[in-house]
Structure 1
Amino acid sequence: MMPTAPTLPAGVSQDALLAALRPLCWGAADILRAYSRGEQPPYGFPKALSVDDGGEGPVSAADLAVNQWLLDGLKQAFPEAGWTLLSEETAKEQLTEGQPLPADWLWILDPLDGTKDFLQGTGEYAVHLALVQGRRPVLGVVLLPEADELWIGLVGEGAWCEDRQGDRSPVRFSDRTAVSELILVASRSHRDDRLVKLIDTLALGGSKAVGSVGYKVATILRGETDLYVSLSGKSAPKDWDMAAPEAVLLAAGGAFTHADGELLTYNTGDVRQAGCLIASHGKAHAALEEIATRAMATIDPGFQV
């Protein structure tokens, strides 16, 4: 059963919010593409200086510029909105360990998800914007600057992809349903022995390695792959890595849970999304949860899935 359609903060309409998010996202894409190519970025942001020259390097410059662009844009578009803005770049100043932010409505932003891919020029990096109410996402945006794809998901209403002209294309989940047929989207790095053993136990139909979490989920939305598994503890992905991709995937009718079926929660006082997390098109999700939970009990009996 699909979740109920999202409500929004008082005074914020869905049409107005989407109308504001589109130019913000495409502006962020232009900023990141310029930095990735060593070009002069738009909107008055400074060109990146190398660390050797006393600058902060292209990643830091891009992170900081897009962070400012997004935060300023949301504040200017909705000065009276009753929400709080949190990004990866502001988290150190805003967050206290163990204490959730006192916000019913919270934006969780990642100005640049996929730093290695940004530096290596693979193009498989993303920008994440998620609007969370309480501890659960209601809206997600995953921007893929190099692919010119803007994935938007309204939980309970649906998800789609837009190009720069505003033309929409639908989610295209694959027709694969048997676990033995499913294609895994995996990281090029972040693999430990436990994850290798778990993937071997799942006995899937194949795998594809790509960059950021947002880019991974986009491959599921396009039907190129079917599931993503995150297995981690102290070095786990953070709220800003997962919130927007989860929202888009849920809005599309997919699933994103812990292996034991528990939902991901945000703004809990601990930004780490630790455990065994499974994102999928949903068609074999219960079977994946069951196999993964049973397997982890053998692979690492003390691991909290």
Structure 2
Amino acid sequence: MMPLPTGVELDPLLTVLRTLSWQSADILLAYARSEQPPYGHCRALTVADGGEGPVTAADLAVNKQLLEGLANAFPAAPWNLISEETAKDQALDPQYQWRWILDPLDGTKDFLQGTGEYAVHLALVQQQRPVLGVVLIPERQELWLGLLLDGIGSAWCENRAGVKKPVEFSNRQELAELVLVASRNHRDQRLEQLLQQLEIGSCLTVGSVGCKVAAILRGDADVYVSLSGETAPKDWDMAAPEAVLRAAGGGFSHADGKALAYNSSSFLQAGCLIASHGHSHQLLCERAAKAMASIDPGFQI
């Protein structure tokens, strides 16, 4: 794995990411509480393509804060930036080996419902693989950071004061004792069948993908399964959570063991994707692949 892009040093980059992340937390917390957002953002924005007012305003405000903040801090860096909010109007430029992938608000329904289970995802990807991930969970005051540089992984959590705590995977290994973390909003019959066949011990319901992976990193859960339904997740759903989880030593792959690949023209992350604390990852993948062969024989895992 290559180091960071030419002219970019790790410590200054992390300093900027911390500042921008907590600014993003301030913005989202203000919108979530119907308060005036800071940093010059409007309380209500008119969005031509619809949306739920404050949610769309929050998306766009965080999007602007992060993209402009990175561009201003590193004006000469050899990377470009793509976001869920801009991807439909932005073609991938093949001249860039490095790209930031942003989801300014992952877990929109949970944001609306007031569960607190929403997150900001930001990942630095080299060609098709993530090397740095940021998962911010504003309501818990958690900033998860993961680095995969020069073949070495490290991950940790910080609070707003900069106090760090390590990843604490559970020691559960047998499938019957694992805790699955699952969505309350995105489930279909095939997923229910797959989960039954995996025979995992218990289930924890959580919103955003970032929040799900954080539950694994804290040891509250052990495995997350994404099975494409009517729509598949996108790069910005998976890149940052994957980077942090894998940097911590966990597993995140397709059920056939293949790595996720980013920066395709569709941005789709389709198939049967499994994220885990790593202890039982290979067994989970084997069981899932076998189960999907009977549940949906033509499904590309």
- Please tell me the TM-score bracket, short chain as reference: over 0.9
Q: Where does residue 247 of structure 2 map in the other structure?
A: 251
Asked if structure 1 preserves the Cα contact closer than 8 Å seen for 2:153 and 2:249, the reply is: no
Change (3 A) 1:268 1:164: same
Matches within 5 A, 1:137-286: 137-155=130-148, 156-233=152-229, 235-286=231-282
Deviation string for 1:32-65 (max 9, x for gaps)?
A: 00011110000010112699xx996011100010
SS at match of 2:242: helix
1:84 aligns with 2:77: no
Aligned-pair CA distance for 1:279: 0.2
CA distance in 1, matches of 2:62, 2:79: 20
Preserved CA contact (<8 Å) 1:67 1:111: yes
Sequence identity percentage: 66
Q: Distance in 1 between matches of 2:66 and 2:282?
A: 37
Alignment of 1:9-24 (within 5 A): 9-24=5-20
In the alignment, is the contact (CA less than 8 A) between 2:153 and 2:246 conserved in 1?
no
**Deviation per residue, 1:256-279 (Å, 9 max, x gap):** 000000000000222110000000
On the 8 A contact 2:250/2:277 being kept in 1, the answer is yes
What TM-score does the superposition give when structure 2 sets the normalisation length? 0.95
Residue 295 and residue 65 in structure 1: after superposition, are their counterparts in 2 closer, same or farther (change >3 A)?
Answer: same
Shift of 1:102: 3.8
Q: CA deviation at 1:100?
A: 6.7
- Which of 48, 53, 56 does residue 57 from structure 1 map onto? 53
For the pair 1:125 / 2:121, whether they are aligned, the reply is no
Return the match for 2:34 from 22, 32, 38.
38
- Counting matched residue pairs gives 296
Q: Point out where structure 2 has 5 or more consecutive residues left out of the alignment.
A: none
Q: Secondary structure at the match of 1:268?
A: coil
Shift in Å at residue 157 of structure 1?
2.9
Secondary structure of 1:160's counterpart equals: strand
Is residue 136 of structure 1 aligned with residue 129 of structure 2?
yes
Q: Contact 1:50/1:56 (CA < 8 Å) preserved in 2?
A: no
AA matched with 2:125: V
1:25 to 21, 28, 33: 21
The answer (yes or no) to whether the contact 2:120–2:136 under 8 Å persists in 1 is yes
Whether the 8 Å contact between 1:100 and 1:268 is mirrored in structure 2 is: no
Aligned to 2:3: 7
Counterpart of 1:117, as a letter, is D
Q: Match for 2:253: what amino acid?
A: T
The whole-number CA distance in structure 1 between the counterparts of 2:272 and 2:153 is: 27
| Cα pair 2:188 2:229 within 8 Å, conserved | no
Pairing partner for 1:113 from 92, 97, 106: 106
- The one-letter amino acid of 1:148's match is Q
Contact 2:46 2:53 in 1 (8 A): yes
Structure 1 unmatched ranges of 5 or more: none
Q: 1:168 to 1:195 in 2, by over 3 A?
A: same
* Deviation (angstroms), 1:286: 0.5
Q: Secondary structure at the match of 2:213?
A: helix
Give structure 1 regions of 4+ aligned residues with deviation exceeding 6 angstroms: none
1:117-174: CA deviation from partner (whole Å, max 9, x where unpaired):
1111110000000000010000000000010000000022310000001010000000
Q: Counterparts of 2:131 and 2:227 in 1: how far apart (Å)?
A: 25
- 2: distance between equivalents of 1:170 and 1:55? 37
Query: What is the CA–CA distance in structure 1 between the aligned matches of 2:223 and 2:28, rounded to whole Å?
Result: 27
Post-superposition CA distance 1:214-240 (Å, at most 9, x none): 000000000000000000055011000
Please tell me whether the aligned partners of residues 260 and 269 of structure 2 are also in contact (alpha carbons under 8 angstroms).
yes
- What RMSD, in angstroms, separates the aligned Cα atoms of the two structures? 1.6
Amino acid at match of 1:299: I
